[in-house]
Amino acid sequence: MWLFPSWVKPGDTEPPPLLVYKWCQGINNLQDVWETGEGECNVMMEAKLEKVAEKMDLTLLNRLLRYVCGYYGLVLDLLILGLRRASEIAGPPQCPNEFLTFQDIATETVHPIRLYCRYIDRIWIMFRFTADEARDLIQRYLTEHPDPNNENIVGYNNKKCWPRDARMRLMKHDVNLGRAVFWDIKNRLPRSVTTIEWENAFVSVYSKDNPNLLFDMAGFECRILPKCRTTAEEITHRDGVTKERTAQCFLKVDEESMSKFHNRIRQILMSSGSTTFTKIVNKWNTALIGLMTYYREAVVNTQELLDLLVK
């Protein structure tokens, strides 16, 4: 049961939608996570570990396929987290920590990396920096990569599926912090083992200028908006919003999942041939039921998917 630490996913303890819920809940449960009064910042980084399978030794991989793949991924986790933080997140061998929990608040807050999850070759890291920590990291990054003309804003990835006022605001400090975090994590990974690419990653910064925390996980686009950063009228329980406590998570279906559903329907139609209409309808219904069962209220809040269903 405890062969690998709790951050290694997928696991038997939860299906992917429950993993998304747990991750959002884990963020919200962090100590003073939404406070920005003294210049604190949160950073959510997600990225894909590039060419992990291609860079494994194939002879060894064929012998111990799944175990070695998991073990190889664990090595990458240790490179990213560092031995000490990995040990603190995993917990003692006699009593391992549950996913997204720590033994005490002191252990949780001693390091900027507060949460970590790896789903095969995709990683999500939740950071929380004090104003001094953020400034020091930005300074280290700008020393290596000077930006006198503020060009870091150009090409900064954003979640365009959300309305403009709900996306990350590209403020100079937050953009530099996002790029600095990505640069720091990328430097921890030897290129011979794997790497992360800016084009396939997204770094969301929550700060005094950015009230939303954005990421996508398991086919869901998530936007967490804390109650303390909005008006009372906006905090209403409606479709697409998980259980209200101190923050709300707005959900949409991501573009890749919509493409998969679209391609599945095209496959059904193109392979139908002389198949009876009833059989085609049954396949369509099966695909649609699977979509609605998995994504639930996120479907209603994704206008592009609704348009696709109507088409």
Q: How many domains does the chain have?
A: 2
Residue 292 within any structural domain of the chain: yes
Neighbour-count burial for 78-109, b at 16+ CB within 10 Å, e otherwise: ebbbeeebbebbbbeeeeebebbebeeeeebe
What pLDDT, on a 0 to 100 scale, did the predictor assign at position 230?
81
Domain check: are 62 and 110 in the same one?
yes
Domain check: are 166 and 287 in the same one?
no
Low-confidence ranges of the chain (pLDDT < 70): 1-2, 56-64, 232-245
What pLDDT, on a 0 to 100 scale, did the predictor assign at position 276?
85
Domain check: are 218 and 302 in the same one?
no
Residue 3 within any structural domain of the chain: no
CATH number of 263's domain: 3.30.43.40
Domain check: are 231 and 94 in the same one?
yes
* Structure tokens that stand for 308 in this block: 């696709």
Residue-range definition of the domain harbouring residue 290? 259-310
Pick from 251, 276, 297: which residue ends a domain?
Answer: 251
Residue 136 within any structural domain of the chain: yes
Residue 208 within any structural domain of the chain: yes
Residue 1 within any structural domain of the chain: no
Q: Which run of H or E residues covers position 219?
A: none
What pLDDT, on a 0 to 100 scale, did the predictor assign at position 181?
97
Residue 88 within any structural domain of the chain: yes
What pLDDT, on a 0 to 100 scale, did the predictor assign at position 187?
96
What's the pTM? Answer: 0.84
What pLDDT, on a 0 to 100 scale, did the predictor assign at position 62?
66
Neighbour-count burial for 49-64, b at 16+ CB within 10 Å, e otherwise: bbebeebbeeeeeeee
What pLDDT, on a 0 to 100 scale, did the predictor assign at position 227?
87
Residue 114 within any structural domain of the chain: yes
Domain check: are 106 and 161 in the same one?
yes
Domain check: are 184 and 293 in the same one?
no
What pLDDT, on a 0 to 100 scale, did the predictor assign at position 83?
95
Q: Measuring CA to CA, which residue among 183, 189, 200 is closest to residue 76?
A: 189
Domain check: are 263 and 246 in the same one?
no
